[in-house]
Chain A
Amino acid sequence: MLSWNKKLTFLAVFSGALILLAFGLVLFYAPVEQNMGVVQKVFYFHVAAAWLGMLGFLVAAVSAVLYLRQNKLKLDAVMASSVEIGLLFTAIANFTGMIWARPVWNTWWTWDPRLTTMTIMAFTYLAYFLLRNSIDDPVKKARFGAIYLIIGFATVPLTFFSARLLRTIHPTIFGGAGTGEMAMTPAMYQTMGFSIFSFSVLFALLLIVRSRLRLNQQWLEEQEALEQDEEFGEVANG
């Protein structure tokens, strides 16, 4: 049974402080963008959230490969939690993107490559949970989930490449011609970098806490099964 400890408290306080600092930077340090106005500031959290969406998938895919090779059931908790958090932040990224897009591009949605890829990734995440829910045996749940994550992750590069071939109106940050371009000053880069960093620390915190919660849940279920075994003298999977 895992319980809260001092290290986690420290991590929580630390990431909380970082996020507050990031807010501060975004509001007071970063300049207002000349073309888009104040609404552009959503951008700092939008990109960070999108990054976390990707990170969630990456961590899950790596855990999946590790799980298949090492067979440690604890990794299943990490996989599921990572996908959960990634899904949450992908939703946040899509939402903040829409807040930004409406005044700037006058539309809620575009078939732009990054957006399309992230949305398809979100569908893969959801499908992953549906797959897990459809399996009762915990080992099979972990194994099939891992396989699906690996397949899903392997198709992301191709999905992005294909989506990009289709269309591009998403602003390219680092120069390049095209509409919807932003002029980035050093202060903006710094704010962006810091925002991404603080969100990553938040990701680590959420991942650790969520995984421990899942492990505790598993422990409880096993405890119940053991008690049932003692009571009825039978093994569930004999």
Chain B
Amino acid sequence: MKNWLSTLKTLIWKDLLQEWRSKDMLTAMLAFAILSIFIFNYAMELDPRQRAELAPGILWVVITFSGTLGLNRSFVAEQEQGSFDALVMAVPGLGSIWLAKQISNFLMMLVLIVIVLPIYSLLYNQNLFIPGLILTLILGAWSFSAAGTLLASMTAQTRMRDLLLPVLLFPILMPVNMAVVKAGTGIMTGAALASYQVWLSVLLVYGIIMTTISLLVFDYVILE
């Protein structure tokens, strides 16, 4: 158990250090996110209440598209230098390779959210720092990166790579999209918890299912 945790920590440390040096993922994600927020402003000249209702939807669109750009970069190092092989040989429980990647990607998404939320709030004159909304986004981010990490580990090994990930990911992600937007809208319009609570459960269930399947199936992704 101790070994397993130490392996996990080492793998995550490596991913975060790589990202810190190259800033590959964050640059791709932030550039896209901030540009999109500006574009959406031109698309919507609405009264405050309508803007409040739409905010979670717009935010989530921005986050998922930016997140996909980031995910595309997450396996580049392993793919180009063949490090998958080295990791497979060194790490006994292959699921921990996936879990470490998932946690690193999740942390990237959190950084994205932390940066995007204030910018959005500022530009749209909207207070988005509501605990419920933040919780929803965090749950959504975990589910997003769980599905995305597994699929990215596959698409990194194909010919189409970056182009393929959104195509594979978005149909799978539908429950998450619906849940985040519906729960977010409920929270932003001040509805009672009971009315949108079920969406949070959907997010939780999805996260658990996707994490479990990924851990079970990851061996087949990297072993031949």
Contacts and interface: CB of A to CB of B under 8 A. Distances in A.
Q: Do chains A and B touch in the complex (CB under 8 A)?
A: yes
Interface of A: 68, 120-121, 123-124, 126-127, 130-131, 134-136, 139-140, 143-144, 146-148, 150-152, 154-155, 158-159, 161-163, 165-166
A162 B147 contact: no
B179 A162 contact: yes
Contacts of B202: 158, 161-162, 165
B224 interface: yes
Given A147-B217, A150-B217, A166-B182, A134 B158 contact: yes
Interface residues of B, number: 32
A126 B168 CA distance: 9
B160 interface: yes
A131 B168 contact: yes
Nearest to B218: A147
B220 A147 contact: yes
Contact of B154 (A131, A139, A161): A131
A166 B178 contact: yes
B209 A154 contact: yes
Interface of A is mostly: helix
A68 B223 CA distance: 12
B171 A123 contact: yes
Interface in B205-224: 205-206, 209-210, 213, 217, 220-221, 224
B8 interface: no
A124 B168 CA distance: 7
A12 B171 CA distance: 35
A147 B213 CA distance: 10
Interface in B158-183: 158-160, 164, 167-168, 170-172, 174-175, 178-179, 182
